Amino acid sequence: MITIERDRRESPRVSLTRPCKVYRPRSQKYHAGITSDLSSGGACIRLSQPIEYEIGEKLYLGIAQKRRQALLRSHDMVATEITRILPISTQETVLGLRFIDASQGLPESLPLAA
């Protein structure tokens, strides 16, 4: 018997492929990636390296407005929380992220995203 998982999103999603960058406070490093889809409540992103993350971990996400946008400013980053980690391959990491209330703001110590 085939089991179909119910879509857990509260907001409709749109397929969108854009360069993105994730800042991880735990390691104080940026990781480059690509968005798969986006909604008003969150995003699914693919990172080009296998990195161990934890559900509930807080990350900061910046999404390029244009496909060839090379630089993202730190004030363009938004706070997110990991809701899903998808095992796709040993060469990449796929994360489901939920946007956190923007009123919490970004930490002043967030370094410039290059």
Write the pLDDT tens digit of every residue in 2-40.
Answer: 444 455 556 677 888 889 999 999 999 999 999 999 888
Domain assignment of residue 42, yes or no: yes
- In 3D, which of 38, 9, 33, 13 has the Cα closest to residue 23? 33
Domain assignment of residue 35, yes or no: yes
Domain assignment of residue 108, yes or no: no
Domain assignment of residue 23, yes or no: yes
Write the pLDDT tens digit of every residue in 35-75.
Answer: 999 888 899 999 988 888 999 999 999 988 766 666 666 66
| Domain encompassing residue 59 | 14-103
- In 3D, which of 51, 86, 49, 46 has the Cα closest to residue 63? 46
Write the pLDDT tens digit of every residue in 70-113.
Answer: 666 666 789 999 999 987 778 889 999 999 975 554 455 555 55
Backbone angles phi, psi at 6, to 5 degrees: -70, 140
Domain assignment of residue 26, yes or no: yes
Domain assignment of residue 69, yes or no: yes
Q: What is the CATH number of the domain that holds 88?
A: 2.40.10.220
Q: How many domains does the chain have?
A: 1
In this prediction the pTM is 0.76
